[in-house]
Structure 1
Amino acid sequence: MAGATIATVQKILQGMILPEMQAVKDRLASIEGEIKSLRSEIKRIDDKIDNGLARLENKIDTGMARLDNKIDTGMARLEERIAHLDEKLTAQVAHLDEKLTFTNKRLDEALEIRERLAALEAKVGR
């Protein structure tokens, strides 16, 4: 009887539990397939993001290089203009200095003439 009971329990287990276990195994296999698919999708998206970031970094680097070049060019032009203005200003100051020297010389001559004239008037007036 114990043998029959064990056989009966085995039949019940095989009839109820084994199909459930097989369904669980099948479902696990299906889930594993979905996980593999999701991993592939994640890898594809990750690669796509990496490529996009690389392109973006390249564009940023290119833009920064162009901007640096424009700034350098602008600074060079600005330095040239400042040097040119400095030359013009130096020339104008030199010209004004010459004019002032000439004017001072004429004033000195005028004062000397006035002093001579005053001396002559003093001699004549005596």
Structure 2
Amino acid sequence: MKDLACQQFQDTVAEFLIRHQSILDIISKSQESNARVNRAVVKAVTHCGCVKVRAEKSAIPPEATLADLKQLLDSHLDGELCPNCREIIESEMGKSIFYLTALCHSLGLSLADVLQREHEKVSTLRVFNFT
């Protein structure tokens, strides 16, 4: 069912790719939309204040294992997104997903396959995937 939802979304994106059919347009719009996600998160901190960044160097004991890092490291965020910031960030993320899907379409890739392969990789390698 999830594959069907991904394929339906990819088909819809392909149907509405009118102005941005060029791979160059898609890549530049993807970069722009990712920057807008970042900016929306920053504005949640600096403009709204619903979340705060509390960043400092994490103290990691020399004997800590890779498994210990899950408890030793955190997101550096305090608070929770307010409904307005959540809506804005979700909207910007949706646009990023749109352009990622458009990129898949233009390159003849299946978004569902890309997600499935990444899921398998993360599931197989687990924490070692990101070291």
User: Relative CO higher for 1 or 2, CA cutoff 8 Å, sep ≥ 6?
Assistant: 2
Pick the structure with more helix per residue: 1
With normalisation by structure 2, the TM-score equals 0.21
Which has more strand, going by share of residues?
2
TM-score (norm 1): 0.22
Structure showing greater radius of gyration is 1
